[in-house]
Structure 1
Amino acid sequence: MEFYLSHLEEYVKNMYLKFGFTEPYQIDMQRIASSLNIWVHYEDVNSMMIKHDGMYSIILNSRLSKEKQWEDFAHELCHVLKHAGNQLNMNKMFRELQEFQANQFMYHFCVPTFMLLKLDFPELRCHAVKMIADLFNVTEEFAAKRMELFEKRQIGIQFHKAWKTSLLEDAEPSAERTIDQFDKADEFTRFKRKNRHQYPFTKKAKKWIAAEKQAEYLLEK
């Protein structure tokens, strides 16, 4: 199946290629943080991102599993890379927008699309979800949601392709349709000829034209 990456998917792919990651087993949270000069701390608090003296730190909840910590890291990483401002002082709708963007980034960063495209999925969806969870070190709940996003993307591409094909078919009429169009054109031409009449100039208009022809500035033929 033909597949093209979205802007977010392309962005994530380029990041991973810069890290030298092309396969799931190569993904390393500590190497990513080190490459981006981000400090990672583990505390008994909700995961968060903080900025102090121009330095970024991501604090991960020490009570969470390694899989959940990796998911939270990706969420907070989006805030580091793409967002600015203190959410505590932020408009509610703008804060919700940032959270939505961070969640979308999280799913695509933890399980990059360009790596998913290399996989040979089993027939059963539950087995595919389990495979994603194991390969990318995420929870099965997370893997199921990521699989859903991946499937919706595939359906969207198929729909767009079918829509473009239908437009091309409409833009290239068949021989029969072409003949019908010529018949309509001939009929319209006959109608114009039958109903043709000279524009009814008013008497004033005729006088203005005659006056223009007699103007001194016109060159004689």
Structure 2
Amino acid sequence: MTYFLTHLEEDIKRLYAQLQISGPAYVDMHRIAAEFHVWVHYEDTGSMMVKHQGLYSIILNRALSPEEQWQDFAHELCHVLKHTGNHFKMHKLFRELQEFQAKQFMYHFCVPTFMLLQMKLPNLRQQATLQIAQTFHVTWAFAEKRLALFEQRRAGIRFQKEFTSYLMRADKVAEKEIVYQTKEAAHETSEVYS
């Protein structure tokens, strides 16, 4: 089945190409941070992004597992790369939009679709989830959610293709019916003169 990347998936593929990272084995959070001129700090606080005098820092909670820190890093990296404004001074709805975007970015940055498409995932869901978690160094819950997003997208593409095919067949049937009705109408309205 042909898979069409979304705009977000294309953006992330371009980011990884810019970073010259082609597979999960080459992903290194600190190298990525350095490439984007972002300082990474570990504190006893919630993870966040801070911009001060044009410099970016991502603060990660030191009590989190490496997998959770990687996930939080990706979330905060989205704010660095795509968002502007003071989170505390912006309208609640705009802040919620940015958080939604950062969450989507996080799932796709930590487990990029173009890399998932290169994998042969097991048919059993638990085994596929485990393979994603281990390969991309994310938590089980994260891998489970990312697999669900991937499957939903594939199902959507499959539905779109089947629906388009159905519409094309319906158009051909309708075309034939119109031709038939036109011929019938012409035959019925014909008058024979002798």
C-alpha displacement at 1:187, in angstroms? 7.6
Pairwise CA RMSD? 1.9
Aligned-residue sequence identity (percent) comes to: 53
- Distance in 2, matches of 1:4 and 1:47, equals 33
| TM-score normalised over the length of structure 1 | 0.81
Structure of higher RCO (CA pairs closer than 8 Å, 6+ residues apart): 2
Q: Aligned residue for 1:85?
A: 85
1:174 CA displacement: 7.1
1:205 maps to none
In 2: Cα distance, 1:40 partner to 1:187 partner: 81
Indicate the residue corresponding to 2:138 in structure 1.
138
Change (3 A) 1:43 1:176: closer
Aligned partner letter, 1:131: Q
What are the equivalent positions in structure 2 for 1:195-210 lying under 5 Å apart? none
Query: TM-score scaled to structure 2, two decimals?
Result: 0.92
Q: Which amino acid aligns with 2:180?
A: D
Aligned to 2:114: 114
Matches within 5 A, 1:34-113: 34-113=34-113
- Structure 1: which 4+ aligned runs deviate by more than 4 Å? none
- 2:28 alignment counterpart: 28
State the AA in 1 paired with 2:155.
Answer: I
Against the structure 1 CA distance between its residues 34 and 177, is the aligned structure 2 distance closer, same or farther, given a 3 Å change threshold? same
Cα offset, 1:170, TM superposition: 2.3
Q: Which amino acid aligns with 1:167?
A: L
Deviation at 1:20, TM superposition (A): 1.2
Cross-structure match for 1:180: 180
Deviations 1:33-83 (A, max 9, x none): 111111111111100001011111100001111000000000001111111
Separation (CA, whole Å) in 2 of partners of 1:186 and 1:157: 43
Structure 1: gaps spanning 5 or more residues: 191-221
Counterparts of 1:187 and 1:49 in 2: how far apart (Å)?
Answer: 77
Residue 175 of structure 1: CA displacement?
Answer: 8.0
Q: Which amino acid aligns with 2:118?
A: K
